[in-house]
Amino acid sequence: MNSTPPPVAAGKSSSLARNSAISLAVRLLAALSGLLVTTLITRTLEPASAGNYFILFSFCSISAIVIGCGVNLSVVRLVSEAMALDRPARAKGAIWMALKLLAFAALVYATVLLLPPVSRQLAAFLKFPPDVLLPILLIIWTIGLALQSALAETFRGLQDILRASAYGGLCSSLLYLTALGIAALYATPTLRQTVILVAGATLLAVLICSMALRRALRRLPAPQTPGWRTLLALSLPLWGTNLLLVVLTQADLWILNHLADSTDVALYGAASRLTQLLTLPLLVLNSALVPMISEQHALGQHARLQSLLRDSAALAALPAILALILFAVAGPLLLELFFGASYRGAHGVLLILGAGQCVNVLCGSAGYTLMMTGRQRDMLWITGLSGALLIPLALLLGTWLGASGVALGVAIALGLQSLAMCVCVRMRLGLVTVASLQGMLHPLRTLKRLL
């Protein structure tokens, strides 16, 4: 395949480099503030209560995907394609339809969760002390997370990477950190108080983001809706894929919660939080790359698209590998530094999960390439099969090896999923997304190509 970029490539490269630089700064702040939030939680709550918090957060994250109906991904594609084709009215119409669909799903979710039998069973399932406020807190937290994702991704579709990155995580993380930090100055918050503070901060972050989006949409003409059939046909496969992805990434906590106690869940959750740093470079590049995948594919610029995919994967893989080496050498020290001495025992889990994440980063943005080029059904099948492998494998290995066994099952399933996505992109689109060895060996040269 010819690697010589077309005439528009220089502008697109500069756009990727500029947007990636913006995203890098915001993502670094978000990652740091998010890590500090986890540090505050693990140092103010007992390990058992911290484990319960991780489970509650996982429940709300999964529920947010459920009520999101896939609009957080479909709105990026619909809006970015409409703007690329100079159809801003259609972009605005897609945004309003996506928000209406999300509002309807949120109403159904709140109604179900407020039913007394459901709320009682939910408290027992989550191992949360009986509390009449629990369903209300979960509703606020879940709807806040769903709206935050949809609104932030709308900015990404509009190519406003700064606001997309800021409202996608930084704003809420800073609010969490502020609320929890102020509370910790006066007294040690309980689990219930921590959940109240986090849920309230999420709602405030959504309010700030919605006000910014309202101002941005005023510049667009009257909305021209693409039609419910178009939105649902695109959103539902993405919804299924997104749901399976979040289950795939969080099933380990639930499996360990079933096999062990909340203290083990806390140690595992802390190690998992630290391994997220390995994927930060790829997340930064994806923030700018995702809308460009849809644009380049729509314009038929496949040679340029492959160059962007491989170069971005190479730049993301190098720091991920270096971070894994750091975890191997100084993992116990890092765990104690961030979370406390009782978390040193999570070193084995940290290394296993880190190795799985490194394989994921080396494979690049294969998943987003499938979803942003009309191959969302392929992505759905791959993710479903990976989930079908992960759950029994993690259960089996977890029964034998405890938390390390669960982590090993997750790492194997994640690695196989990443490789399968790469193969599918190659077969369906003729594109390679894997990081090139030359790109990793010569990072400055690779960066110059993006500049």
CB of 113 closer than 8 Å to CB of 125 = no
Residue 110 has pLDDT above 70, yes or no: yes
Taking only the tens place, the pLDDT of each residue in 286-295 is 766 777 787 7
CB of 65 closer than 8 Å to CB of 187 = no
Domains in the chain: how many in total?
1
Supply the range of the domain harboring residue 43: 9-450
Mean pLDDT of 249-277: 88
Q: Does 205 map to a domain?
A: yes
Instruction: Check residue 209 and give its pLDDT.
Output: 92
Confidence label for 7 from pLDDT (cuts 50, 70 and 90) = very low
Alpha-carbon distance of 312 to 44, in angstroms, equals 39
Confidence label for 15 from pLDDT (cuts 50, 70 and 90) = low
Q: Does 1 map to a domain?
A: no
Confidence label for 18 from pLDDT (cuts 50, 70 and 90) = low
Residue type at 361 in one-letter notation? V
**Which stretches within 114-227 are classed as H helix?**
116-125, 134-157, 161-165, 171-186, 191-217
Alpha-carbon distance of 30 to 48, in angstroms, equals 26
Q: Does 4 map to a domain?
A: no
Mean pLDDT of 355-374: 90
Taking only the tens place, the pLDDT of each residue in 37-94 is 989 999 899 888 899 899 999 999 999 988 988 888 788 888 888 887 788 888 888 8
Alpha-carbon distance of 411 to 354, in angstroms, equals 8
Question: Looking at per-residue confidence, does 297 or 338 come out higher?
Answer: 338
Q: Does 188 map to a domain?
A: yes
Residue 373 has pLDDT above 80, yes or no: yes
Cβ atoms within 10 Å, residue 402: 17
Residue type at 272 in one-letter notation? S
Residue 257 has pLDDT above 60, yes or no: yes
Residue 124 has pLDDT above 50, yes or no: yes
Residue 6 has pLDDT above 60, yes or no: no
Tell the residue number behind the tokens 């949120």, with chain if given. Answer: 106
189 DSSP assignment: -
Instruction: Check residue 68 and give its pLDDT.
Output: 87
Residue 2 has pLDDT above 50, yes or no: no
Instruction: Check residue 9 and give its pLDDT.
Output: 39
Mean pLDDT of 95-105: 90
Alpha-carbon distance of 26 to 106, in angstroms, equals 29
The full 3-state SS of 385-444, as one line of letters, equals HHHHHHHHHHHHHHHHHCHHHHHHHHHHHHHHHHHHHHHHHHHHHCCCCCCCHHHHHCHH
Taking only the tens place, the pLDDT of each residue in 217-246 is 888 887 877 778 888 887 887 787 777 777
Phi, then psi, of 174 in degrees rounded to 5: -65, -40
Instruction: Check residue 3 and give its pLDDT.
Output: 38
Taking only the tens place, the pLDDT of each residue in 130-188 is 677 888 999 999 999 999 999 998 888 887 877 887 888 888 989 999 999 998 888 88
CB of 192 closer than 8 Å to CB of 56 = no
261 DSSP assignment: -
Residue 11 has pLDDT above 50, yes or no: no
Instruction: Check residue 451 and give its pLDDT.
Output: 60
Least Cα distance to 354 among 432, 274, 266, 257 occurs for: 274
pTM comes to: 0.75
Residue 111 has pLDDT above 70, yes or no: yes
Percent of the chain with pLDDT over 70: 92
Q: Does 110 map to a domain?
A: yes
Alpha-carbon distance of 225 to 231, in angstroms, equals 9
Least Cα distance to 144 among 51, 57, 251 occurs for: 57
Instruction: Check residue 321 and give its pLDDT.
Output: 94
Mean pLDDT of 372-384: 83
Confidence label for 103 from pLDDT (cuts 50, 70 and 90) = very high
Cβ atoms within 10 Å, residue 442: 14
Mean pLDDT of 360-388: 86
Instruction: Check residue 1 and give its pLDDT.
Output: 36
Mean pLDDT of the chain, nearest integer:
85
Confidence label for 343 from pLDDT (cuts 50, 70 and 90) = very high
Residue 8 has pLDDT above 50, yes or no: no
